[in-house]
Structure 1
Amino acid sequence: MDSIYIYETRELDYFTSYLNKAKKIGYNPVVVSNNDLANDKEFAEFKSIYTHLSVNDYNFELNCFARYFAIANVLTNNDPFILSDSDIYLTNKKIVLTDSAFKNVFIGSEGFANGVTVEQISPHFSVWNRDMMLDFTNYLLNAYKRNHQDNFLGEYYEAQKNILGYSATAISDMTLLYMWVHDNKIPYINSNNAGNDWGIDHNISVLSCENAEYRSLHNRKKVEITTDGKINLILESGQRKEMSCLHFQGAYKQILNDFYLGDYKKFDRFSANVNFNQKLHYLAAGNKLKHYKALASQYQDIEAALDDYRDRLEAIPDELFNVKPMGDSWSYAQIYSYSLQEALAAIAKLEQCTQSDCSYTNKKLGFWSWLQLLLSVPAIVKTTETEMLSNTTTTDKFTKEDAVNLIIKCRQRIGAVSSLMHNANNNSRIEHPNLGMLNAKHWFKFIRIHLQHYLKQLQHTENKF
């Protein structure tokens, strides 16, 4: 039977659910603890030379290293096995370790951001054998002995702080795994790659993998649960990947047991709340949060609208994308091209306002403009088809792939510009043809109203087919 080893010393509400599911689908879960470190001279030596270089708690980081020594002590053969964190949701798809792909190869989950490795390999659902585990514990001892001589880990830590920022930096077991793989030339496969079919999730909150991006919902991966019980994640390409596990890291641990119990609606509500609070802190950037709640809500609605654009796009038949249904109705391609390119133009104006690269005026909004924004009434600029075509990509050549790229670009741009909102001066304004002089907060709200309005236009076009 395929074995999973879990090092756990805490009382967790989801751990029993995890163990029961592991047994149900055919794994042999083996729980390892501090008892398996008794009289371990190697771990005692490691503990004496360990240098804490992390924003995380000392005991947290030390326990992350301790698990390798503890598991090495209980292994009795060289068969492949899975090392697993406890904050894992196991689906009904079981990994079969007798597959030749797992023989004498280390499989871990390497983090990527914007297509570039973050030089860390997560072991949260990784494949090993005894020889590799012993080799890694030996590497850990030698690495920290060397560090006492030349401080190479300390220097690496300082370099990573400059790259990743202080809040995201640690010399952790994940850092040492990355170094071990490269220094010892370990046969290695990255499970965080769209090309394999094992379905090992890197982190529910991380959308990037080695060579692709996942679709999002509430700023975490969008999870699809099929009628036959499969759990899928969806790449931006539209490809569905059946998962063997989901990694409920960070705040999502709180909802893991509910997910095991099948309360998926609670999972979605929890995700929306986490996303809102993340947006709130992100937009406030150290200022008083209460002034930024409205903006956080706008941001969440913008993301939800872009998710809706993406989902609707997938459902549109390719042969109908450029077809006008009747009369003066716009085609799907025209709506996607116009609405998204206009949104990008509005985001550019928003950015100018956040950087005061525009007019400075204390002239307030007129009453009707204020009322339109208050009531979320679209500020429609009457646009003829001829004018629309002259201002956007020629829609007979505009493809669904073009639409996907615009959605991604809108998401990236609004995310980047949002980080500047806390510096925006209310008197830095750019004129809108109908609404008058708008500041950054006005443009932010306008973008949300604009995107939601053209979602209704998409529904209008759909109803005419």
Structure 2
Amino acid sequence: MSIPVIFIHRAVEGHLGLCMQQAKASNPKSRVILIGTRENRKHTPDGTEHHLIDDYSQSARGFASYYRHLSPNDFAYNLFCFQRWFLLRDFMKANQLQKILYLDSDVLLYCDINKPDYERLALEFSWTTVCNRSTLDHYCAYLTAHFREPQMLHKLLDYCRVIGNVPLSDMVTCIHFRNYYLRMDSTYGVIGDSFFDHNLSCPLAPPCEQIELLDGKKKIYWKDGALLGKFSEKNGFLKVNTLHFQGAAKHYIPAFLTGNLPSRDELHYFDYATCQWLLANLKD
């Protein structure tokens, strides 16, 4: 059975429905689920599901009593970034789901998510993660303990300083939990000959062989039914599994939907300046 794809989102934004539509197009046998609000129900495409945040928020509300706001981000936004993991865990319990793919509302999915290798991505990216219920149980317990116990919170803040004086966010706790509790090596999103995108507007992480950039974003190619990144220092391509259109890059989401990709199989690339797919040549 195909694992479900789950989004959790409170706002009413058009790109949410597009990303759900793409998840269904790339994994037609999977349940594609939004845990959202009454207001954003209208953005759920045909063949997908909508469930209410309020129906799964008991333990998330409990976590709020321990939460300490240690970020320049908005209080409610940052709190909800942590609470969503409790919502997700409780939804999985209520619906007897053992494993899911979680995606943020600005991530487009292109691969079959049922490959066992993709479990290596567990909680490495907070916006794109395959995780099982047992892992989420442990992660939610970890979050509660680290905000409830002053000594554990201080250790977490020390970790924030070590990695570059970053604010405390669920992106930090995901990596800390993965490194020190799951003890999993980093993939940096690259698994085999493919990659899960960190951010369209950033290169791959420094340990990885780099792919070409264009206008400060990853240069994305299309050929023979697949999206690709082209290595910059050697021949060959990495297949695209996801693209993360963070911030202003959301503008490009419609152009990257499967239905809007080139109809011809020749090598194309996406030109950000004109927002078009153009035929590539050997010099591109």
Range of TM-score over shorter length: 0.7 to 0.9
User: Aligned-pair distance for 1:77?
Assistant: 3.6
**Residue 29 (structure 1) aligns with:** 32
Q: In the alignment, does 2:272 pair up with 1:268?
A: yes
Q: Please tell me whether the aligned partners of residues 122 and 174 of structure 1 are also in contact (alpha carbons under 8 angstroms).
A: yes
Q: Please tell me whether the aligned partners of residues 107 and 188 of structure 1 are also in contact (alpha carbons under 8 angstroms).
A: no
Q: Please tell me whether the aligned partners of residues 106 and 128 of structure 1 are also in contact (alpha carbons under 8 angstroms).
A: no
- Using the size of structure 1 for normalisation, the TM-score is 0.48
**CA 1:125–1:152: 2 relative to 1, 3 Å:** same
**Residue 47 (structure 2) aligns with:** none
Q: What amino acid is aligned across from residue 259 of structure 1 in structure 2? A: F
**Residue 211 (structure 1) aligns with:** 208
Q: Please tell me whether the aligned partners of residues 201 and 246 of structure 1 are also in contact (alpha carbons under 8 angstroms).
A: yes
- The equivalent position to 1:136 in structure 2, one of 135, 139, 161, is 139
Structure 1: distance between partners of 2:176 and 2:270: 40
- The equivalent position to 2:112 in structure 1, one of 78, 90, 94, is 94
Structure 2: distance between partners of 1:244 and 1:150: 35
Structure 1: distance between partners of 2:122 and 2:211: 19
Q: Please tell me whether the aligned partners of residues 259 and 267 of structure 1 are also in contact (alpha carbons under 8 angstroms).
A: no
Q: Please tell me whether the aligned partners of residues 230 and 236 of structure 2 are also in contact (alpha carbons under 8 angstroms).
A: yes
Q: In the alignment, does 2:36 pair up with 1:16?
A: no
User: Aligned-pair distance for 1:258?
Assistant: 3.8
Which 4+ runs in 1 deviate beyond 6 A?
A: 263-266
| SS at 2:121 equivalent | strand
**Residue 54 (structure 1) aligns with:** 71
**Residue 197 (structure 1) aligns with:** 193
| SS at 1:269 equivalent | coil
Q: What amino acid is aligned across from residue 8 of structure 1 in structure 2? A: H
Unaligned runs of 5+ in 2: 38-51, 263-268
Q: Please tell me whether the aligned partners of residues 53 and 154 of structure 1 are also in contact (alpha carbons under 8 angstroms).
A: no
Structure 1: distance between partners of 2:153 and 2:60: 22
Q: What amino acid is aligned across from residue 178 of structure 1 in structure 2? A: I
Q: In the alignment, does 2:248 pair up with 1:232?
A: no
Q: In the alignment, does 2:204 pair up with 1:188?
A: no
> Aligned-residue CA RMSD in angstroms?
3.1
User: Aligned-pair distance for 1:152?
Assistant: 3.2
User: Aligned-pair distance for 1:22?
Assistant: 1.9
**CA 1:218–1:137: 2 relative to 1, 3 Å:** same
**Residue 383 (structure 1) aligns with:** none
- Using the size of structure 2 for normalisation, the TM-score is 0.76
| SS at 1:30 equivalent | strand
Structure 1: distance between partners of 2:176 and 2:189: 19
Q: What amino acid is aligned across from residue 87 of structure 1 in structure 2? A: D
Q: Please tell me whether the aligned partners of residues 255 and 267 of structure 1 are also in contact (alpha carbons under 8 angstroms).
A: no
**Residue 98 (structure 2) aligns with:** 79
- The equivalent position to 2:252 in structure 1, one of 234, 251, 255, is 255
| SS at 2:272 equivalent | helix
Work out which structure has the larger RCO, using CA pairs closer than 8 Å and 6 or more positions apart in sequence: 2
Q: Please tell me whether the aligned partners of residues 191 and 198 of structure 1 are also in contact (alpha carbons under 8 angstroms).
A: no
Summarize the alignment of residues 351-362 of structure 1 with structure 2, pairs less than 5 Å apart.
none
**CA 1:251–1:39: 2 relative to 1, 3 Å:** closer
**CA 1:39–1:68: 2 relative to 1, 3 Å:** closer
Summarize the alignment of residues 445-456 of structure 1 with structure 2, pairs less than 5 Å apart.
none
| SS at 2:199 equivalent | coil
Summarize the alignment of residues 326-341 of structure 1 with structure 2, pairs less than 5 Å apart.
none
**CA 1:238–1:193: 2 relative to 1, 3 Å:** farther
Summarize the alignment of residues 23-422 of structure 1 with structure 2, pairs less than 5 Å apart.
23-25=24-26, 26=28, 27-33=30-36, 35-38=52-55, 40-75=57-92, 76-77=95-96, 79-91=98-110, 93-95=111-113, 97=114, 99-101=115-117, 105-108=119-122, 121-147=124-150, 151-160=154-163, 163=164, 169-184=166-181, 186=182, 188=184, 190-194=186-190, 196-209=192-205, 210-226=207-223, 228-236=224-232, 237-260=234-257, 262=260, 268-269=272-273, 312=283
Q: What amino acid is aligned across from residue 262 of structure 1 in structure 2? A: N
**CA 1:195–1:129: 2 relative to 1, 3 Å:** closer
Structure 2: distance between partners of 1:155 and 1:171: 10
| SS at 1:188 equivalent | coil
Q: Please tell me whether the aligned partners of residues 77 and 130 of structure 1 are also in contact (alpha carbons under 8 angstroms).
A: no
Please say which of residues 187-196 and 18-27 is displaced more in the overlay: 187-196
Structure 1: distance between partners of 2:55 and 2:150: 26
Report percent identity of matched pairs.
19
**Residue 299 (structure 1) aligns with:** none
Unaligned runs of 5+ in 1: 110-120, 272-307, 316-465
Q: What amino acid is aligned across from residue 197 of structure 2 in structure 1? A: D
Q: Please tell me whether the aligned partners of residues 203 and 246 of structure 1 are also in contact (alpha carbons under 8 angstroms).
A: yes
Structure 1: distance between partners of 2:184 and 2:228: 25
Give CA deviations for 1:343-395 in whole Å, capped at 9, x if unaligned: xxxxxxxxxxxxxxxxxxxxxxxxxxxxxxxxxxxxxxxxxxxxxxxxxxxxx
| SS at 1:243 equivalent | strand
Structure 1: distance between partners of 2:211 and 2:96: 38
**CA 1:17–1:208: 2 relative to 1, 3 Å:** closer
Structure 1: distance between partners of 2:183 and 2:54: 28
Q: Count the aligned residue pairs.
A: 252
